[in-house]
Amino acid sequence: MMQSLRYWPGWFAVFKTAVYLALTANIGFFFQDEWQAATHLLRSEVSAASVLEAFAATIDTTAWVVLLLMFELETHQLDDSRLTPAVNRWLILVRALCYGFIVFAFIGYVMKGFSLLNVVPVSVGALCDLAASGYQQMVDPDEFLPLAVAGCATSALATTGALMVNHDDLWVVTLTDWAELKRLALVDVSNSATWILIVIMLEFEVRIGLWRELPARVTALIKPTKIALYTLLILFAAFWGFAGSVLDFWDAFLWIVAFVFIERNVFVWEQELERASPSEVTQ
C-alpha cells in the first residue's frame, strides 16, 4: 500500500469536508423550495408519480450525496485490506439503491418537462374564472403565486396578453416565463443525464480497477469523454448562473468540485493498485 500517495494536506481535507457538508445542506434547501411548490401541486392528488415530480431535486441530491460518500469510502477512506467481499457487497448494495433513486429523479425531471408541454392557450378574459377555481401563476419551477379573484381583470397578469394553462396541475404562465421555464427544464434533464453517464464511467473504472484490468485503449476513450461531459456540466452551471438560479448554480459548482476529489481519489487508487503486489489487491 503506497500510503504516501493517499496523503492529503490538512487544509485540503478541511476544504473537501466543507464541500461535502455544503452539498448535504443543499438537500434541505431543495426540499424547502420544492415543499412550497408541492403545497400547490399535491393539493388535489398525491401519488408516487406526483411526489417524484414534485421532489425530484431533493430525491436526486440525497441519492447523490450518499453515492458520493460511498465513492469516498471506497476510493480513499477505506484501506484496501478492509475491502473484503462482505464490505464490497454492502457498498454495491447501497450504491445500487442510490442509482435507483437517481434514475427515479431523472424520470421526475422528465415529468416536470412534460408538464410544461401539457398546456393550452387561454385568454386573459378567463383569468377570473381560473382564479376562482384555485389556479395559481407559475413563475419558477418551484414557485407559484396565488391568483387574486378581486381585481383579477385589471391585474398585471391580465395585461400580458395570451397565457398558457395546465389544467392538470392548475397553473397558468405567461408566454415569456413559459419559454424560460422550458429552457430550465431542458437543462435539468440534460444535467441529470450527463451526471448519470459520468457515474457509469466512474463505476466502470472502480470495478475494473479492483481487478487491475483496465485496457489502455479503454482509458484513452474514457478520459476525453469525461472531459466533454464535465465541460457540459460547467456550461449548465453557467446557464443557471446567468438565469439567476442561485441555488442550482451553487449546487452544480459544488458537485463539479466534489467529483474532482473523487476523480483524484480514483487516480491515486489506480496508482496504488499498479504498484501493489498481486497478493495485496483485494479480489
Look at 72 and 161; give whichever has higher pLDDT.
72
Q: What is the mean pLDDT of residues 46-58?
A: 86
Look at 279 and 170; give whichever has higher pLDDT.
170
Given a cut of 60, whether residue 115 has pLDDT beyond it is yes
Q: What is the mean pLDDT of residues 131-141?
A: 88
Closest residue by Cα to residue 149 from 127, 118, 175, 117: 127
Mean model confidence pLDDT for the chain: 83
Domains of the chain by residue range: 3-117+178-280, 120-177
Given a cut of 70, whether residue 126 has pLDDT beyond it is yes
Residue 159's pLDDT band (cuts 50, 70, 90) = confident
For the stretch 183-215, what's the b/e string if a residue is b when 16 or more beta carbons lie within 10 angstroms of its beta carbon?
Answer: ebbebbbbbbebbeebbebbeebbeebbeeebe
Sign of the alpha-carbon torsion through 247, 58, 113, 42 = negative
Look at 176 and 273; give whichever has higher pLDDT.
176
Given a cut of 70, whether residue 167 has pLDDT beyond it is yes
pTM of the predicted protein model: 0.83
Look at 221 and 218; give whichever has higher pLDDT.
221
Phi and psi, residue 174, nearest 5°: -75, 160
Given a cut of 50, whether residue 4 has pLDDT beyond it is no
Q: What are the tens digits of pLDDT across the range 247-271? A: 999 999 999 999 988 888 777 766 6
**Predicted pLDDT at 3:** 43
**Predicted pLDDT at 272:** 64
**Predicted pLDDT at 9:** 63
Closest residue by Cα to residue 147 from 168, 125, 171: 171
Residue 215's pLDDT band (cuts 50, 70, 90) = low
Residue 282's pLDDT band (cuts 50, 70, 90) = very low
Say which range, 67-76, 106-115, 178-187, has the weakest mean pLDDT.
67-76
Side-chain-side CA neighbours of 104 within 13 Å: the count stands at 22
Q: Supply 105's cell numbers.
A: 429523479
Q: What is the mean pLDDT of residues 107-121?
A: 94
